Amino acid sequence: MTDALVDTNWVAKHVNDSNVRLIEIDWDGLEDYNTGHIPGAIGWNWKSALWDQTDRQFPTDDDFCARMSNAGVSNNTTVVFYGAPVQFGTYAWWVLKLFGHTDVRILDGGQVKWEKEGRPIAKDIPEIVLEKYTIKNKRMEIRAGRDHVLAEMNNSNCSILDHRSGEEYSGSRVGLPGKLDVGAERYGRIPGATHVPFDSLLNDDTTFKTIDQLTYIIGSLVPDKSGQIISYCRLAHRATLASFVMTELLGYKNVRVYDGSWTEWGSIVGVPIER
């Protein structure tokens, strides 16, 4: 097990450390955060914190540095994320890895497990001391664009993994089950993609399954830990959770997240689709 996954005891012990920043990532505004959060956590909305203000792209280097500084994060800060829901925390983990942040971690089980253990919940917003932040050693090799997917689609040495629901993978939906069925013009999957639902990697309390269980789920499909892997879902959140499992918990070396995912692929003119 890697230091990138921390438990509730670790957070309770370290959340007030000056070199630790706990951040809740909300999927829709900051409603969940304002309702109640783990004491010491600040709140980020995933899109406003991790995307460009206008473009379907990540923030510029200057904007990213400003957002980190305003969150009280320096290059030496240990950043711990938890998501509402869980996959938004791993999305933030992945974006910080992309920008080269050295020490970024995930709280196993997040607030779900925290509350089940009877731990306190707060509504106050912590005071933030601004820090200086600079970008060093961006890791663009962990990101895949559509051209890379097209180039590797028929490569027998590259595994493409689809982490959506069964309904999305089979082509009966383009949106999450239980939500509006929107998000792309066409239904289906990238040809040759193997189905590995993201929630198959989690327990009911949103903690990650054991290493043996994860090894069985992933390793039975992709035994070569040095081979190329491209992960995708609908908007990349679920794919980043699988990437976290593979790279941080299981030791896979060459995993890329296709962050355009099905919202892009299912609407591109001329790309192949399998159903």
Active site residues: 233
Cα–Cα distance between 101 and 247 in angstroms, integer? 16
First to last CA, the chain: 37
The residue with tokens 């309904």 is 167
**CA angle at residue 237 from 150 to 128, to 5 degrees?**
130
Q: What is the DSSP string of 90-155?
A: HHHHHHHHHTT-S-EEEETTHHHHHHHTT---B-SPPP---------S--GGGEE-HHHHHHHTT-
Question: Token pair of 19, please?
Answer: 């070199």
How many distinct helices (H) and strands (E) make up the chain?
11, 10
